[in-house]
Structure 1
Amino acid sequence: MEKLLLLMVLFATCYAAPQDLSGKAFVFPKQTSTAHVKLLTNKSKFNSVTACLRFFTDLSRQYSLFSLATPSHSNDFLIFKINSKDEIDASVRGKNARFLAVSLERNAWHSMCATWTSDTGVAQLWVDGKPTVKRFIHSGRPITGRPITILGQEQDSHGGKFDAQQSFIGMISEVHMWDYVLSPSEIQLYMSSDHFIPGNVFNWRELEFEIKGLVLVEDEHRLEISPIPIRSDTWRLY
């Protein structure tokens, strides 16, 4: 019975109610074209976006960090690491901008935030507390339509067409998304884990999500190398 329950958690876990994942991390241990985490929200229009997360990987190849697709655009809001270079692509409404000279040491935890607003079309990354230049991507139209947001894979269609060569291997934690652009001071609070306002679209402390395939949920302190402050919040499966 215990083995059956474990398999259910690893391969077909679905959470009907928001979960507090404080002190937890999603662990993606294998290159695959199937395993992923789907984040759930009722919101379907975004005039602006801020998405933040922490991640740890030893990959040098390309991989997806955050993939939001709608029926009209598979890359409606995407954060994507480019092959073996310290470069990140941010995509909005199918358009993209490349952020160069982003320092991403392997086998280390990193904090990243990406912002975009439809008013100006300008996007910016923040990596480990440091901002990049601001780059224009797409303006005038908000992100609209039923979103499917995926961690661990990059969507080439609305909710599918995953490529194992773009899958994420490692750990992802503290995922938050807001439907507005955070100020620099608010982003710094997130980076330092210091009493920031949780995301109003995705909130790591009240997260609705579904796990598909081999994705684990582990305490961050079990990962030993995590520099992220460990909270005492409890967590349990329902």
Structure 2
Amino acid sequence: MDVDVLLLLICFSISFKDLSNKMFTFPRQTNTAHVRLTTSRQNLGAVTVCLRSFTDLKRSHSLFSLATPSADNDFTIFKGAASDEYLLFAKNSIAVFFGQDYKLNTWQSVCSTWDAVSGVMQLWLDGKPSSRKFASSGSNISGPILIVVGQEQGIYGGDFKSDKSFVGMMSDVHMWDYVISPDEILKYSKRQTFTSGNVLNWSALEFQILGKVLLEDQQNTH
């Protein structure tokens, strides 16, 4: 086989894409449209997830949903109905955070951390930390991991609810298998050079779009 053809086949077989300066647009409320983010990892003793979102939603909505067959909220970032409220889940256990400076029609960076040993979760909104709260400890996230943005998984891979769906734009999704430092979170929030996620990396992302979701150039409005 010709070397150039072989290289071309290899490129097509590896579906990782560099989404730098791109964004997912979720243009309407549905119980179907979402993006699945792929990872080969099946055991996590700690998690950090960072993303940027832009929306005018005043209702509650899901930002990041990681499920396994044994837990539909194995790691979830959820914006609550109250304007200053975020809900974080680990191993189906919840930690609620109030007093957050949530803004409409503005790009905001959201980071969440959890460690299985301590069981502690923390939220970082635009680089500003919340108080640290206990959610769940003693066991890792394990099993076939399914990650969804745009919807909350009520069961593994489904049971989406339109009134929990995300409507707006999302970009720069990264995930690590450890709790990254406050300095790294601050660099991320300020769009400075930071260590990319080793579980999900926006610059080398494997994903699947299902339903009405657009992949577009990012609008860097503030």
Shorter-chain TM-score tier: over 0.9
Whole-Å separation in 2 of the counterparts to 1:151 and 1:142: 22
Q: In structure 2, the residue corresponding to 1:26 is in which secondary structure?
A: strand
The reply on whether 1:175 has 2:170 as its aligned counterpart is: no
Are residue 112 (structure 1) and residue 110 (structure 2) matched? yes
What does 1:213-224 correspond to in 2, within 5 Å?
Answer: 213-220=211-218, 223=219
User: How many residue pairs get matched?
Assistant: 210
Q: Which residue of 1 aligns with 2:43?
A: 45
Structure 1 vs Structure 2: percent identity of aligned residues?
A: 49
User: Aligned to 2:71, which of 70, 73, 77?
Assistant: 73
Q: How does 1:177-216 map to 2 (within 5 A)?
A: 177-216=175-214
Q: What SS does the aligned partner of 2:163 have?
A: helix
Matched residue, 1:4: none
Structure 2 spans left out of the alignment, 5+ residues: 1-12
| Correspondence 1:94 to 2:109 | no
| Poorly superposed stretches of 4+, deviation over 3 Å | none
AA in 2 matched with 1:19: K
RMSD: 1.1
1:226 counterpart = 2:218: no
In 1, Cα distance between the equivalents of 2:157 and 2:199? 18
Partner of 1:59: 57
Instruction: Report the AA paired with residue 202 of structure 1.
Output: L
Which of the residues 15, 24, 27 maps onto 2:25?
27
- Return the letter of the residue paired with 1:215: V
1:144-183 deviation digits (Å, cap 9, x = unpaired): 0111100000001000000000000000000000000001
* Alignment match, 2:15: 17
Aligned-partner Cα distance in 2 for 1:120–1:186: 21
Length-normalised TM-score, structure 2 = 0.93
CA–CA separation in structure 2 for the residues paired with 1:226 and 1:177: 24
TM-score, normalised with respect to structure 1:
0.86
SS in 1 for 2:121: strand
Which residue of 127, 130, 133 corresponds with 1:129? 127
CA deviation vs aligned residue, 1:174-215 (integer Å, no higher than 9, x gap): 000000000111111111121101100000000000000000
Which amino acid is the alignment partner of residue 33 of structure 2? A
Q: Structure 1: which 5+ runs fail to align?
A: 1-14, 228-238
1:84 Cα shift?
A: 3.5
CA distance in 1, matches of 2:153, 2:39: 17
Secondary structure of the 1:204 match is coil
User: Take 1:74 and 1:19, find their aligned partners in 2: how far apart are those partners?
Assistant: 27
AA paired with 1:108? T
